[in-house]
Structure 1
Amino acid sequence: MLQPTRNPVSARPLALANWLFAVAALIVAMVVVGGITRLTESGLSITDWDPISGTLPPLTHEQWQAEFAHYRQIDQYAAIHAGMTLAQFKGIFFWEYFHRLLGRVIGMAFFLPLLWFWIRGAIPRGYKMRLIALLALGGLQGAFGWLMVRSGLQPGMVEVSHYWLAIHLITALFTLSGIIWTALDLRLLHRSHLARPARLTLAGAVTGVILLIQLVYGAFMAGLRAGLVTDQWPLINGQFFPAREFAARPFVDAIFNDPYVVHWIHRWWAWVAVAALIWLARKVRPIDRRASVAIHITFGTQILLGIATVMAGVPIWLAALHQLVGALLVIATTWGAHALGSERRAL
């Protein structure tokens, strides 16, 4: 348990909160770039993982030819990008390289200020282990990213595993949520040295689990290209329920691996998530009206973007915007759950 009255004089909770908000903004950008990387089939363009030497892109024509030769050896090249030119390869290489480079930037943006705050004694009592845990989650996220890429490099694979993609995305969003929650705790501590960390309430936990399921199925949608199975809404190719697809596979296999079924679940579970988010927002409104409004705006925008993305045939810009608002929805939900947990803790 935190003991706020024993914090060192040098503690700077507001400075730490602002730093964490900046890191959160970088993670949101990372989520969007990751989505574009997936949509452009760029994720397998770099076939190895060199955390240090991989910081620099190919600089000479010979280095570019070597990278292109490595890519032509994997099955995705023959299945999707056969005949592409070196210039076209550079286009897909850019997004994967930028995605990895941004990951390194986020790592340094977290680690170096954390070290500085630690040395200066600016971290309030009880927060050091939490910040280390968030740093560890970031490192785990990088490892999951490579495991995701490696899944697509196996013989017979032309895309990454949608399971690893989901793990990769959910870890990023969970880290984002943890950073926002910690920053909000620190901001409360800045306002009052007697403030205690918010606790997760039942409403916050239930809404979080329901939203988690929706996010997992969003990742499955991306991994299975399930957004392309139809351009209709609310029907899917003239039918409401994919009975034929359900009947063609065992139930568990269908709900996790069939693009039509995954699309249907993601489409209609969204309304369960909406109901939970409205419930949370109504509870939060008397405590923090801005958080309540943020929840309503983000889920409303997200629903409209999801429908538009499907009906427009999943254009990259619209799908990326859908992913951006999804990350903002996680932030808004975390904000609301934290406000509710802060109010309950103060009672």
Structure 2
Amino acid sequence: MTASISAQQPEARTGQSPDAGQVKVEQQRIRRNRTIQRVWLGLVLVAIFALVLVGGATRLTDSGLSITEWKPIHGIIPPLSEAEWQEELELYRQIPEYQLINKGMSLDEFKTIYWWEWAHRLLARGVGVLFGVPFLVLLATGRVEKRLRWPLFGLLVLGGLQGAVGWWMVVSGLVDRVDVSQYRLATHLTLACLIFAAIVWVMRGLAPHSADPVPSEGLKRGAGALTALILVQIYLGGLVAGLDAGLASNTWPLMNGALVPPGLLEISPAWRNFFENELAVQFVHRLGGYVLFALALWHMLAAISRGGGTTHCRRAIVLFGLVTIQALIGIVVIVTKVPVSWALAHQGWAVVVLGFAVAHWRGFFGAYPMETKIRIRS
């Protein structure tokens, strides 16, 4: 007679079965594979974080429309001769941004904005290779557990979609506008952060977890709500960036001398103000920040009350600290009129906050159970 035992179950007592040692060996193999995958995914996260920062710098330096063609393969090679540089500049001269804003730009000035956009695209391609090649190797060598094969493949597909969304964003600024659509920019940024969050979720599930019990289901739901709200805030931040709405009001805590500044509903129909009115977009983003701060504070206090001393409580305290730092950076960005350095710090720290929030939420669920099964004779 034989029976199956999951590798996550306690080992059989020594001497109970000649196969008991195999369970331990299999557990060690799975742990090694999970360590390899965590290192790989950690490198991907670092690359995505760098990509978000370079993308932010590309936006803040108005460099995003400098490359007017999508060449996924050939575009890896930058201009190598004076003639090729002149060809790229001539393409740029045909779009409204050059004709209405940068008319007369020299070749050296053009090279500055070109290199930002080229670096952004090259880094995006690099992220795709860094994720895709190791994934296929790990898959081919049987190191990826069954439950993760389709989710990781889905992330690979999302990465390809993100590239298409990036070009869809650029196209919006090549004909009738002097910049890209704020809707598309916010979508591009949010999708990048969603991919980042999903990778953190998988990576955290592959890591060992504390044995501390979950203090309450309410805390788990609160962690999920915080994560969702952070993603919403990132989308709203994308709208702010796309509209240069950070310059609509540069005072805090009041906006142009009022708690609720006049001019929030100047566009008709009214709903468009929350996506196209610079003042209204900044106002909503500020309100979202206040709500996020309050929810993070409540979550921390609830964790201290219901699970003081647990790892869940410690994570909630750290998360509140990260949210507080982000709020302070946001205030500095506003009152200093959106300098590039502080704006990049605000965008980068948002990704840090999101990553920790996801890891905190995932911590309530425990590590992925080990899937392998060993046949034990009884």
TM over 0.5: yes
Runs (5+) with no aligned partner, structure 2: 1-5, 9-22, 212-218, 370-378
**1:19, distance to aligned residue in structure 2 (A):** 0.9
Q: Among residues 195, 206, 211, which one is paired with 1:186 in the alignment?
A: 206
Distance change in 2, residues 1:247/1:88 (3 Å)? closer
Pair 1:48-2:72 in alignment:
no
In our comparison, the structure showing a higher alpha carbon Rg is 2
1:206 maps to 225
Q: Among residues 56, 60, 66, which one is paired with 1:39 in the alignment?
A: 60
- Quick check: 176-185 or 210-219, which moved more? 210-219
SS in 1 for 2:99: helix
**Separation (CA, whole Å) in 2 of partners of 1:250 and 1:60:** 51
**Separation (CA, whole Å) in 1 of partners of 2:48 and 2:267:** 39
Pair 1:71-2:92 in alignment:
yes
CA contact (8 A) 2:7 2:27 kept: no
1:266 maps to 285
- Give the aligned residue type for 1:102: L
**1:4, distance to aligned residue in structure 2 (A):** 6.1
1:89 maps to 110
- Give the aligned residue type for 2:341: W
SS in 1 for 2:71: coil
Distance change in 2, residues 1:9/1:127 (3 Å)? farther
How many residues were matched structurally? 333
SS in 1 for 2:311: coil
**1:278, distance to aligned residue in structure 2 (A):** 2.8
**Separation (CA, whole Å) in 1 of partners of 2:159 and 2:223:** 24
Relative contact order, CA 8 A, sep 6+: which one is greater? 2
1:195 maps to none
**1:292, distance to aligned residue in structure 2 (A):** 2.6
Q: Among residues 174, 177, 183, which one is paired with 1:153 in the alignment?
A: 174
Q: Among residues 207, 215, 234, which one is paired with 1:215 in the alignment?
A: 234
- Give the aligned residue type for 1:44: L
With structure 2 as the length reference, what TM-score do the two structures score? 0.83
Q: Among residues 115, 120, 139, which one is paired with 1:118 in the alignment?
A: 139
CA contact (8 A) 1:138 1:175 kept: yes
Report the RMSD for the aligned CA atoms in angstroms.
2.3
**Separation (CA, whole Å) in 2 of partners of 1:325 and 1:87:** 32
CA contact (8 A) 1:4 1:125 kept: no
**Separation (CA, whole Å) in 1 of partners of 2:354 and 2:92:** 35
Q: Among residues 151, 155, 159, which one is paired with 1:130 in the alignment?
A: 151
- Quick check: 112-121 or 32-41, which moved more? 112-121
CA contact (8 A) 2:267 2:277 kept: no
CA contact (8 A) 1:281 1:336 kept: no
SS in 1 for 2:249: coil
2:195 maps to 175
Which structure is higher in helix share? 1
1:292 maps to 316
Q: Among residues 305, 309, 313, which one is paired with 2:337 in the alignment?
A: 313
Q: Per-residue displacement from partner, 1:264-311 (whole Å, max 9, x unpaired)?
A: 111122010112223344538633455334312321111111111111
With structure 1 as the length reference, what TM-score do the two structures score? 0.90
1:197 maps to none
**1:173, distance to aligned residue in structure 2 (A):** 0.4
CA contact (8 A) 2:63 2:117 kept: yes
**1:159, distance to aligned residue in structure 2 (A):** 0.6
**1:233, distance to aligned residue in structure 2 (A):** 1.1
- Give the aligned residue type for 1:181: W
**Separation (CA, whole Å) in 2 of partners of 1:313 and 1:15:** 44
SS in 2 for 1:308: helix
**Separation (CA, whole Å) in 2 of partners of 1:307 and 1:44:** 29
Q: Which runs of 4+ in 1 moved over 6 A?
A: 6-9
Distance change in 2, residues 1:248/1:121 (3 Å)? closer
